[in-house]
Structure 1
């Protein structure tokens, strides 16, 4: 269930998950302190996001006295893999080549990106 829920993490919820992937377990206050101040989120907003993520089954908590400590149930790599697969399936018919072609056609690949892709293709051919 956690893998399917991971694909439904919103952009705002992802900000909370990134904090927890970097350092967990954390209290809601710890998370709020680590969220980018440019978001302008109150402690209540962070608690709302934590509640949503708990309901989706991607977070767990444990009681520590009068406070809750939150930790991810989904690894970042698993979330990235699921989200990437969903994007490729939805927009590119499940094929990676059209995604790369789209990025190339729109000048979204740097010289470093191209070199990394070439190295990856060489490695895959071995």
Structure 2
């Protein structure tokens, strides 16, 4: 997938990753209500995602059913790597330090990181 997914398109992808295939109307009904998007807005976003080959569709009578063509795990891994590369020179330690300095890590987060590091060392 060459083109990046926008924040708005990502909201549509989250719905489709949760459940698919769905119609455009189904997606519109599942989008977070605070977005207050019309069905036309959702259809525009679906069209963009089709063009980017992030989703596929199949005819179901007079409507289309949409499904993701990219896995959420792969997308998240790519976005995480881009963030680290762009902001932290590709290194994880400065990212964790940045979060820790701003009290953005809870005790649970720290315990989870410690457990991950322990597993990695073994």
TM over 0.5: yes
Q: Which residue of 1 aligns with 2:89?
A: 93
Select the residue among 60, 63, 71 that pairs with 1:75.
Answer: 71
Q: Which residue of 1 aligns with 2:25?
A: 29
Give the Cα separation in 1 of the matches to 2:98 and 2:33: 34
Q: Which structure exhibits the higher relative contact order, with contacts defined as CA atoms closer than 8 Å and separated by 6 or more residues?
A: 1
Q: Which residue of 2 aligns with 1:48?
A: 44
Select the residue among 100, 106, 113 that pairs with 2:102.
Answer: 106
Q: Which residue of 2 aligns with 1:12?
A: 8
- TM norm structure 2: 0.97
Could you list the runs of 4 or more consecutive aligned residues of structure 1 that deviate by over 3 angstroms after TM superposition? none
CA deviation profile, 1:1-43 (whole Å, cap 9, x unmatched): x3x44xx111111110000000000000000111111101000
Matched positions, count = 122
User: Gaps spanning 5+ residues in structure 1: where?
Assistant: none
- TM norm structure 1: 0.94
Give the Cα separation in 1 of the matches to 2:86 and 2:112: 25
Q: How much is the aligned-residue C-alpha RMSD, in angstroms?
A: 0.8
